[in-house]
Amino acid sequence: MRDTASGPRVLLRRLRELMQEPMEPQDRLDRIVHDIAANMVAEVCSLYVLRSDSVLELYATEGLNKNAVHLAQLRLGQGLVGTIAASARPLNLSNAQEHPAFAYLPETGEEIYHSFLGVPVLRAGRTLGVLVVQNKTMRNYREDEVEALETTAMVIAEMIATGDLSRLNRTGVELDLRRPVSFTGSAFNDGIGLGHVVLHEPRIVVTNLFNEDSEEEVRRLETSLNSLRLSIDDMLSRRDVAFEGEHREVLEAYRMFANDRGWVRRLEEAIRNGLTAEAAVEKVQSDMRARMIHMTDPYLRERMSDFDDLANRLLRQLMGRGPEDIAQSLPKDAIIVARSMGAAELLDYPREKLRGLVLEDGAATSHVVIVARAMGIPVVGQMKGAVSMAENGDPVIVDGEEGAIHLRPQPDLETAYAEKVRFRARRQELYRELRDKPSETRDGVGIDLLINAGLSVDLPHLADSGAAGIGLFRTELQFMVASAFPRAEAQERLYRDVLEAAHGKPVTFRTIDIGGDKVLPYFKDAEQEENPALGWRAIRLTLDRPGLLKTQIRALLKAAGGRELKLMLPMVTELSEIAQAREIIDKEVRHLSRFAHHLPTSLKLGAMLEVPSLLFQLDELMKAVDFVSVGSNDLFQFVMAVDRGNTRLADRFDPLCAPFLRALKTIADAGRRNRTPVTLCGELAGKPISAMALAGIGFRSISMSPASIGPVKAMLRELPLKELEAFFADNLDAPAAKVPMRALLQAFADDRGIPV
């Protein structure tokens, strides 16, 4: 190689000029390989591009037979080029023919070349092609030459990614980057969403690749690295609950990486080779990701994604970009794609632009999913790999019916889905027609259908759905989306708005249910717990912090002046907790009446049945309260000992199994026996087949997400309840049948044309 210090720089400058000149893509590629060969004093330089059918096609060459361009092909893993693409690692060989993977392609005439250096063309950790130089003499390419070729490969990656090469494809052949892919996972909220990908934590795409002044770029990198390190130290020094436990571990890892000498050295090297600081971060990260992609150790993989996050932070520092800009530039049909996400983060996105949510993790009863359901957007989860395969702006279809996504769909699939959307719109029309019809079974038994809500965005749903009222108002959502405890006035205002929007329909407010997976980042008293679901949460927490409960109760009492107030307590374990809460409520009532406040006309106090201990004192419970509401999400979690947020176990146990249905039936029976109204407000109520089962075992009131009201009502109006009761009389207590209960219920519905 000639001038080793300036070699890569000269080459990059040349490439920049070539990229800016107007010319046909094939001519540009031909010039690029020619210039690389000249710069590196190589007799051959060739570019292979990976197609969506896993074939590497020769796109340009200097030195090999030009007639082989677009004809010479290798499969992924085949030959040296295929090996580089499959492993995402460079190969540097002084005698290529001796390598066991060597495969001779006669059309190229490459037999006379001995030394071989090939590097993968990488972008965001994905291999898009392979760039090769060859020489006749047996030589080993130096480390700085490998580095230079890798940097050049980055420029080519950009050409591929921006679609510059797609004009060279033969019809029917696609490049790998634009390949349509489908994923299947779990359906968390029904609906079909057509739109464009918005990565929740976007990988920042660097388009400004070449620097003008390396030393200035190194200084820019240093400044940004310093502020990054300071911000991490600052987060670590705060004794904030949000930064404890796992968060703390992640931050410690960030700190370690941000001070990693090897990383900083590689970044500086890339800059000295002519890249901008941003492009250097992207390059080093891309190399590292590609090397780690085959790792199976979950711990190391996790650390890799920490490193990715850190690199993204550094890029943001360098580009001076904040998360606000991202929300601003949201397309009007955004489909959010995230590894995982908190409920509050979802609410940062403007509702009117959201068409769907795709999660790599998550479970149907996790809170971000509950919030998404309240917002009425289709949600799918357990979509492993979706984040790395998607690019911001890619067209995507979310199928919340089947639990699938289609990334970069083919036109015929898009047309089929557009038809499906029209079909669903017609069905919605049918549900709207049902809205004012009575909610009763075919044999005339009335079942109250109520909605679950928690934010003011939910309120219009009450009228839209024709529900009989709000069966569960999750007051903690207001706390979860705030950055500090909402003031008493803000609480009172929300409760008043809710009651006003209800126009006299009943509303059941649940006192704040925080703890467990509902974390308030600003709540300093909470500690990291070994088993948060079984920990200091809900009524346990509010009885220990009565100030919190008193403020809320006072806000509720004031907001409900002149109306009925229905209050319920979450996660009751012992009846004494109800008595203690009642004392606090009575005291607040006395206080307000002393100051001549307008009080509610009546006050009903209920308990949620979520903890199995209450199953063994049902009669006492029914007598201690004015109503009971079954929280089937938590009750199922505790009865089956299955974490409701654990993705791995999400589909393992079925709530429609005989033991759980028997438990639910004992609750409905006890309510009837004691004349205490019973309702059920977990996610179970919202699926037509499980709502049917609930009616069959005696529930006459159920509360669900607003979008479920139509399908559940349509089911009920076709349901011969007497027949279903007879079915349960025969089957519920029978010895375990070979056929699962769900299948029996499905057959019951199918035989009678009940839409479930």
Known catalytic residues?
367, 681
Which bin fits 79, alpha (ψ -120 to 50), beta or left (φ > 0)? left
Instruction: Give, as one character, the DSSP assignment of residue 649.
Output: G
361 or 610: whose CB is closer to ligand PEP?
A: 610
Binding partner of 682, given Mg ion, ligand PEP, none, CB within 5-8 angstroms per partner class: ligand PEP
**Share of the chain residues as helix, strand and coil, in percent rounded to the nearest 5:** 50, 15, 35
- Compare residues 125 and 471 and give the one whose CB is closer to ligand PEP: 471
Task: Give me the least distance between CB of 164 and ligand PEP, in Å please.
Answer: 50
- Closest residue to bound ligand PEP by CB: 631
Q: Can you say whether the dihedral through the CA atoms of 100, 102, 104, 110 is positive or negative?
A: negative
Residue 151 interacts with, from Mg ion, ligand PEP, none (CB under 5-8 Å by kind): none
CA–CA dist 726, 131 (Å, integer): 72
| Least Cβ distance, residue 610 to Mg ion (angstroms) | 5
Residue closer to ligand PEP by CB (options 8, 515) is 515
First to last CA, the chain: 72
Q: How far, in whole angstroms, is CA 298 from its chain's centroid? A: 19
With CB under 5 to 8 Å by kind, the binding choice for 57 among Mg ion, ligand PEP, none is none
Shortest gap between Cβ of 479 and ligand PEP (angstroms)?
13
Contact 183, 405 (CB under 8 A): yes
The entry of ligand PEP, Mg ion, none near residue 130 (CB within 5 to 8 angstroms by kind) is none
Pairing of strands 91-93, 115-123: antiparallel
Q: Which does 474 bind (CB under 5 to 8 A by kind): ligand PEP, Mg ion, none?
A: ligand PEP
Min CB(518)–ligand PEP separation in Å: 8
User: What is the nearest approach in angstroms of ligand PEP to the Cβ of residue 536?
Assistant: 15
Shortest distance, position 510 Cβ to Mg ion, whole Å:
9
Nearer to ligand PEP, 118 or 515 (CB): 515
Given Mg ion, ligand PEP, none, residue 391, with its beta carbon under 5 to 8 Å by kind, binds none
Q: How far apart are CA 488 and CA 495, in angstroms?
A: 11
Number of residues near Mg ion (by CB under 5 A):
2
DSSP letter, residue 51: B
Nearer Cβ to ligand PEP, position 46 or 637?
A: 637
Token duo for residue 409: 């769909």
Rounded Cα distance, 458 and 568, in Å: 19
Least distance CB 473 / ligand PEP (angstroms): 11
Q: Please choose which of Mg ion, ligand PEP, none residue 577 contacts, taking the beta carbon within 5 to 8 angstroms, the exact cut-off set by kind.
A: none
The token duo for 88 is 């995402």
Q: Please, which residue, 381 or 631, has the CB nearer to ligand PEP?
A: 631
- In this complex, which beta carbon is closest to ligand PEP, that of residue 190 or of residue 610? 610
For 515, other C-beta atoms within 10 Å of its C-beta total 24
Contacts of 436 (CB under 8 A, 6+ apart): 466
Residue 573: other Cβ atoms inside 10 A: 14
Strands 186-189 and 379-381: antiparallel
Distance CA 409, CA 335 (A): 14
Q: Which two tokens stand for residue 676?
A: 């205490």
Q: How far is the CB of 446 from ligand PEP (least distance, A)?
A: 23
Find tokens 């004794």 and name the residue. Answer: 239
Q: Minimum Å distance from CB 517 to ligand PEP?
A: 9
Interface contacts to ligand PEP, rule CB under 6 A: 472, 474, 513, 610, 631-634, 681-682
**Of 598-637, which residues contact Mg ion (CB under 5 A)?**
631, 634
CB neighbour burial string for 354-386, b if at least 16 within 10 angstroms, e if fewer: bbbbbbbbbbbbbbbbbbbbbbbbbbbbbbeeb
Report yes or no: 508 and 566 within 8 Å, Cβ to Cβ. yes
Residue 471 CA from chain centroid, whole number: 28
Residues 6+ apart with CB under 8 A from 121: 47, 49, 127, 128, 129, 130, 131, 153, 154, 156, 157, 160
Q: Is 399 in the site for Mg ion (CB under 5 A)?
A: no
Identify any residues that bridge with 472 across adjacent strands, giving them in sequence order. Answer: 452
79 binds, among Mg ion, ligand PEP, none (CB under 5 to 8 A by kind): none
- From the list Mg ion, ligand PEP, none, partner contacted by residue 721 (C-beta under 5 to 8 A by kind): none
Helices 25-39 and 7-20, interaxial angle, to 10°?
Answer: 170
Nearer to Mg ion, 156 or 667 (CB): 667
In the complex with ligand PEP, the residue whose CB is nearer, 388 or 452, is 452
Chain positions contacting Mg ion, by CB under 5 A: 631, 634
